[in-house]
A and B are shown apart, each in its own frame.
Chain A
Amino acid sequence: MRDAFIVGVGQTPVGEHWDRGLRELGAEAVRAALDDAGFETAGALYVGNMLGGCVNGQENVATLVADAAGLLPVEALKIEAACASGGAAVRAAALAVAAGACDVAVAAGVEKMTDGAPDGIIAGLATAADQDYEASHGMSFVALSALLMRRYMHETGAPREAFAPFAVVAHANAATNGNAMFREPISAEQFGRSALVASPIGIFDAAPVCDGAAAVVVCSQEALRAHHKPVRIAAASVATDTIALAARSDVLTLSAAAVSAQKAYAAAGRGPKDMDLFEAHDAFTIITALSLEACGFAKRGEALRLAAEGCIAPGGCIPISTFGGLKARGHPVGASGAYQIVEAALQLRGEGGENQVKGARRALAQSVGGHGSVAVTHILEA
């Protein structure tokens, strides 16, 4: 397998884009990434998207984006892995280049959530769960996270307030990211006072419903140009777990996240201590905690202590969600994995601006779909 490098990044602001749909958002991110790389077109386009079918009534999203971005007749395929779709699209592009199928591939993620009515979006998100044994019983995505969070609090003895640092750090980082949805810092006190959505989950535990698109250009060594600041994809791996939460031997271990991280560490010949930053799947504060444990940054039940000690903040031992993460940059579900890779690449290019992690050489990015039923892990190197 050949090496694959990220040489172009593009993103739209995350938010409520009332005047733009899937095609405009997707095409804008793809064109921006190609412009950044200095390429006119690509040999393949992989588009991560989760809700096109059930919320927008639009499948075949990759063709839609290829058409809108002026890339026809490019090979274009939609990649779907629930909330990990964007990360899975990057993995597909890396594989295409590594296998020699093409020299330049584009991976994008796009989601247009605000077209749907709230109950339709809640039902759409629940399609990532087990339709027969979870969604059809009225489980919402938030409720499944609440089940995890309450059990975690029960086993660790932690109060709700102990999850505050994840939201506080995410909002602080988003404040200096021009593409973030929420640019207002919040305090731990505000977190503690916030309204509950599904107890013990409050509004500051959960990522927002929003629109957005992000894209990266991946190319081979042969296609590198002098002006590129290549970021090598040192590892890209996927693992799965039971589709229903209840079927797991330990619901508080995100086994798919752990296995995909272990595979990535092995492929890169690195471990957690070698990572300078971690773009975590912080869709809910409880998922952030479980991801930190799954990726080896904390032992089971100890992620909250890591957060309390300031490890996850800028300058800490493992800064997370450096541009605001899913929580505050925003979580356009099928696009979030692509945003993570864009942000990690910017860090490794030294183009993080006010959000720059000093001396960042290596980044871990992990997308988690369906409460841990699928996880995609990337290790990027400057």
Chain B
Amino acid sequence: MDLARYHRLRSAYYRLEGQRCTSCQAVQFPARTTCRICRARTLEPHRLSGRGTVYSHAEVGPAPRGFASPYLVALVQLEEGLLLTAQLTDVDPEDVMIGLPVEMVTRRIQEHGAQGYLVYGYKFRPILPRRKAS
């Protein structure tokens, strides 16, 4: 990914920033000039929860240039209801199933950009059990 493009995508890639429509309250990702539901232009930045469940998943066999297979990809349904496409990480393929609770983490997305820098962004992993405060 070219550096200017990576820079442009940083709020979406680092913070899952989409938009909320102040007219119909719909949340959308990525940002657009109009609300996808009601076409209003009254949109404000809105950070997504980053928590959801696996809606569908697949293991990538032959990978496109710049990626090393095998790795897992998924449609994730966020708590807000909308879907997101992302890689899954920190999980064995046989443990992935539709409905698995997952959360966003920041990970390396592309390992060898043409200019040698690394591209970071969101991936999703199974929600870790939280230790109760004693």
For A247, list chain B residues within 8 Å (CB).
Answer: 28-29, 36, 82-83
A245 lies within 8 A of chain B by Cβ: yes
| A92-113 interface code vs B (CB 8 A; 1 in, 0 out) | 0000000000000000000000
Residues of B1-34 contacting chain A, CB below 8 A: 1, 5, 9, 12, 28-30
A39 lies within 8 A of chain B by Cβ: no
Q: Is the CB of B64 within 8 A of A126?
A: yes
A360 lies within 8 A of chain B by Cβ: no
For A140, list chain B residues within 8 Å (CB).
Answer: 60, 62-64
| B44-63 interface code vs A (CB 8 A; 1 in, 0 out) | 00000000000111111111
A199 lies within 8 A of chain B by Cβ: yes
Given the complex of chains A and B, what is the CA–CA distance between A244 and B75 in angstroms? Answer: 11
Q: Is the CB of A138 within 8 A of B60?
A: yes
B interface size (C-beta, 8 A): 36
Contact A151/B55 with A136-B1, A246-B75 known, Cβ cut-off 8 Å: yes
Q: Is the CB of A139 within 8 A of B73?
A: yes
Q: Is the CB of B87 within 8 A of A135?
A: no
The CB with the most chain A CB atoms within 10 A, among B36, B73, B85, is that of B85
Residues of A123-139 contacting chain B, CB below 8 A: 123, 126, 132-139
Q: Is the CB of A150 within 8 A of B64?
A: no
| B87-113 interface code vs A (CB 8 A; 1 in, 0 out) | 100000000001000000000011000
| B63-78 interface code vs A (CB 8 A; 1 in, 0 out) | 1111100010111000
Contact A138/B62 with A133-B30, A246-B85 known, Cβ cut-off 8 Å: no
Contact A122/B86 with A143-B58, A150-B58 known, Cβ cut-off 8 Å: no
Q: Is the CB of A122 within 8 A of B56?
A: no
A223 lies within 8 A of chain B by Cβ: no
Residue of B nearest to A242 (CB): B36
Q: Is the CB of B110 within 8 A of A136?
A: yes
Q: Is the CB of B63 within 8 A of A147?
A: no
A-B pairs with the 7 shortest C-beta distances?
A: A146-B58, A151-B56, A123-B64, A246-B83, A119-B65, A123-B65, A138-B67
A-B contact pairs, 15 of them (CB 8 A): A118-B62, A119-B62, A122-B63, A126-B64, A132-B12, A133-B12, A136-B1, A136-B119, A138-B67, A138-B87, A140-B62, A140-B64, A150-B57, A198-B58, A247-B36
Q: Which residues of B contact A (CB under 8 A)?
A: 1, 5, 9, 12, 28-30, 36, 55-67, 71, 73-75, 82-87, 98, 109-110, 119, 121
